[in-house]
Amino acid sequence: MRKIWKKLGFVTLFLLAVVSLSACESYGNSTAEPEKDQVYSQVKASKKIIWGVRNDTRLFGIMDIKENKLVGFDIDLAKAITKQMLGKDAKAELFQTTSKTKIPVLKNGNVDALMATVTITPERKKQVTFSEPYFNAGQSLLVSKKSSIKSVKDLNKAGTVVVAVKGTTAVENIHKFAPKARVLEYDDYGQCFTALKAGQGQAMSTDNGILAGIAAENPGYKVVGGTFTHEPYGIAVDKGQTKMASEINKAFNELKKNGTYNRLMHKWFDGIPGFSIKEAER
């Protein structure tokens, strides 16, 4: 009798081990990176690219409430690249991301590519594959016109508070360039600028083009201090999707040759105070 119970015990243990092993395996599969060049094969077959874009960043990607659609330089460039790559009848589907979620939505397969003011950094290169840079930005400061702050050096004092957005390169850069300042982080640019207006910080910091977009609509604020970092924007695809990245580069270079890129730069950045198209263009 005892022997039977022992046997049954072994069988149960064995079955449990099999079940947990297979659970591990399916978990592993669901988080694995897509197969090499799978993304390009998919977009080619469906004639559709799902782009991760911004919805809180004027000039690059913002929701136009009146028109009820996303507009901006990144949005136009994503649409143009889609058609250049896959033909006139191809479709660009837009998926809204934030500074914090942009890399995760790419990694978990919600989007095929990101055109979302993403700075190419060595750290991010470990997780994703970037196109050639398509826009040269640099970090800058936004302050009230009454402020005496002129550059990032003026922030390096105990008691100074800088407002920034979670998940941006701006947060680390302020710690590096003004280590004595405190950084308050918000979920998006709307909340961050509201905090600046409410006096929760003396300056707001992120890329110059994004700040120029805010200043252009808010006459009480100005962009100061030039650029103190180099923030080249790249189109990101999942790690290993090299065919997708090279097809994006090919399409981007065609758009540069045929004048589309330059036309879009002028459409969005002409007449923006303190912003130089020449510096941003590549």
Nearest approach, Cβ of residue 169 and ligand GLU (Å): 4
Nearest to 50 by CA among 84, 76, 82: 82
Identified binder of ligand GLU from the candidate list 55, 82, 117, 136, rule CB under 6 A: 117
Q: Does residue 165 belong to the site contacting ligand GLU (CB under 6 A)? A: yes
Residue number closest to ligand GLU, CB atom: 99
Q: Does residue 119 belong to the site contacting ligand GLU (CB under 6 A)? A: yes
What is the per-residue DSSP string for 82-142?
HHHHH-TT-EEEEEEE-TTTHHHHHHTTS-SEE-SSPBP-HHHHTTEEEEEEEEEE-EEEE
**What binding mask, one character per residue, do residues 231-250 give for ligand GLU by CB under 6 A, x or -?**
x-------------------
Q: Does residue 62 belong to the site contacting ligand GLU (CB under 6 A)? A: no
Nearest approach, Cβ of residue 259 and ligand GLU (Å): 26
Q: Does residue 185 belong to the site contacting ligand GLU (CB under 6 A)? A: no
CA angle 139, 141, 143 (to 5 degrees): 165
Name residue 166's beta-bridge partners: none
Residues 120 and 169: their CA atoms lie apart, in Å, by 10
Angle, helices 260-269/242-257, rounded to nearest 10 degrees? 80
Token pair in block for residue 272: 């923006």
Which residue's CB is nearer to ligand GLU, number 74 or number 112? Answer: 74
User: Residue type for 271, please?
Assistant: G
Q: Does residue 118 belong to the site contacting ligand GLU (CB under 6 A)? A: yes
Stretch that binds ligand GLU, among 24-32, 33-41, 70-78, 111-119 (CB under 6 A): 111-119
Which residue's CB is nearer to ligand GLU, number 12 or number 194? Answer: 194
Residues 208 and 162: their CA atoms lie apart, in Å, by 15
Which residue's CB is nearer to ligand GLU, number 165 or number 244? Answer: 165
Which residue's CB is nearer to ligand GLU, number 56 or number 154? Answer: 56
Which residue carries 């919600």 as its tokens? 110
Which residue carries 């890329």 as its tokens? 207
Contact 59, 210 (CB under 8 A): yes
Report CA dihedral (43, 48, 54, 56) to the nearest 10 degrees. Answer: -170
Nearest approach, Cβ of residue 76 and ligand GLU (Å): 18
Nearest approach, Cβ of residue 52 and ligand GLU (Å): 11
Q: Does residue 168 belong to the site contacting ligand GLU (CB under 6 A)? A: yes
User: Residue type for 231, please?
Assistant: E
Nearest approach, Cβ of residue 119 and ligand GLU (Å): 4
Give residues in contact with ligand GLU (CB under 6 A).
99, 117-119, 165, 168-169, 206-207, 231
